[in-house]
Amino acid sequence: MGKLYLYIFFSIFVKNIVMKPSLFGQKYSSRDYTNPDCWGKNQFNSSFPASLVAYMYSKGLDPVYIKTTSDNKIVHRYISGEQLFGINPLGDEAFYNYEAGFAPMRCIIKVKGKRLIW
């Protein structure tokens, strides 16, 4: 009897859910991941690391970043996703805007109610 109820549940509810291709945490993005071109090397190489940071943030893990000191020594540190992006990477106000990072264009690019992640 339990299997029958489970089948009915999936038949009614789950089959009506349409999953769009996306990357973790990127609820709002300038990329349309339904377009196969967005999964190409040049675009995926910039969008995947941002998504990985969002995933690590969701798990309470801080990525390692590498910097140099004033005397050119390499130092490994941790940084939260919120510190790195300057905003909660999973928040509703986050907009992953990949193509708009050209500084002279910042004055004309506006997304209502969202803070841009460059």
How far is residue 19's CA from residue 7's CA, in Å, rounded to a whole number? 19
Minimal CA–CA distance to 30: which of 48, 42, 5, 47?
Answer: 47
- For residue 84, tell me if it sits in a domain: yes
- For residue 3, tell me if it sits in a domain: no
Contacts of 113 (CB under 8 A, 6+ apart): 93
List residues bridging with 65 in a β-sheet: 77
Q: What is the tally of structural domains in the chain?
A: 1
- For residue 11, tell me if it sits in a domain: no
pTM: predicted TM-score of the whole model, two decimal places? 0.68
C-alpha 60: how far from chain center = 15
Domain assignment of residue 60, given as a range? 29-117
- For residue 20, tell me if it sits in a domain: no
pLDDT digits (tens, 9 = 90+) for 21-58: 889 999 999 888 888 888 888 888 889 999 999 999 99
How far is residue 94's CA from residue 25's CA, in Å, rounded to a whole number? 9
More confident residue, 8 or 38: 38
